[in-house]
Structure 1
């Protein structure tokens, strides 16, 4: 009979640390020991996204959508059709209101593509793609351990409570600051939207910390790769020295 494990995020982070990733068997021993000692659910580490995080990812997604559509060379014809068959005026699509409207359409739905990466700090916990935590849990399931997160396995990839809340906050923020976004689009696109909207309009100075947070990759993995490379170089040097003898 398989045990059902309820895992807190601090334990998952512990299992992901370099010195505890040697073997799956060791993980199972730790997990089994833990479940016999106490029962704490992963949901306890949930937290709702703050205003800075919502504004940051709204800006990121909108700017990304606009950058993709900005490559279009399309020209829009506006106004009544004249006797010549032409319209009164034309405008470039990438400076048109139509482009902005299309970019804003369902922009907050894109937030649902994010997952919670509980092993990362601050706003970096929100990113697209599977988190190390979830990948580890799925690997444990495939190894025969039943991991109980309080919902069926087939729902694990559904948007979390945190991400769903971010979407709702995104919609509210967009409605509240729609005129600011339009002003930026038509008059200030030389500025980053994060700066124009979030730092200048939405957030107080004391609330802007997340704007500066940038993902630089998994530093633990980079450190291990560097260590492995260094070890390999050392072994190669020893082998070379032995050959000379």
Structure 2
């Protein structure tokens, strides 16, 4: 009985929030931020180290190979496993429009956009995992992941306008950030 009540409450909440365009991301926005996070994560997982592959339990078949970590499938797997957690750092800023209403950090209008992961990230990663792998193995030096996955595959026949939106901070936000930086510097100097 409790499960039924909880399910109904979640259904009603989901129905309420799914009608509000400021709450849930579009297909374009989900793709845009997913590919941005994968690209950023690949940059941070950019070690020049070599990894050894080809280990086997049977020493006769043990043919170790050295491979650059940058080109390894392990790197891509690590990035994909953590990308949806990184997406949860985004918040909705209802005072902004389009895809710009999502950004990392503290939101002026609400705490977090938890539905972003549930509504799009995991499903998108799972659904397009082979395409992401293909881009990583064959196309990453030729085209961005956003162009490859969003423009050519996911949004091929859909609205792509959010992909070209760029965020420009207003002067109030810039002042707040510079004040925070000054405060942090003075706090460090006081120590």
**TM-score normalised by the chain length of structure 1:** 0.56
Counterpart mapping for 1:202-241 below 5 A: 202-218=154-170
* Unmatched tracts of structure 2, length 5 or more: 1-18, 175-191
- CA 1:79–1:115 in 2, change beyond 3 Å: closer, same or farther? same
Residue 45 of structure 1, CA deviation? 6.8
The reply to whether residue 75 of structure 1 matches residue 25 of structure 2 is: no
**TM-score normalised by the chain length of structure 2:** 0.71
Residue 165 of structure 1, CA deviation? 2.1
Higher RCO (CA < 8 A, seq sep 6+): 1
Structure 2 CA distance, aligned partners of 1:99 and 1:196? Answer: 19
Structure 1 CA distance, aligned partners of 2:116 and 2:84? Answer: 9
Q: Secondary structure at the match of 2:122?
A: helix
Structure 1 CA distance, aligned partners of 2:25 and 2:90? Answer: 12
Aligned length: 151
Cα deviation, 1:146-180, whole Å, max 9, x if unaligned, reads xxxxxxxxxx63x2xxx222212111011111000
Runs ≥4 residues deviating over 3 A:
43-47, 80-83, 219-222
Structure 2 CA distance, aligned partners of 1:65 and 1:45? Answer: 28
**Structure whose CA Rg is larger:** 1
Cα deviation, 1:110-136, whole Å, max 9, x if unaligned, reads 1111111111110000001223x34xx
- CA 1:129–1:221 in 2, change beyond 3 Å: closer, same or farther? closer
Q: Secondary structure at the match of 2:125?
A: helix
- CA 1:44–1:205 in 2, change beyond 3 Å: closer, same or farther? closer
Counterpart mapping for 1:83-94 below 5 A: 87-94=63-70
Structure 2 CA distance, aligned partners of 1:58 and 1:105? Answer: 12
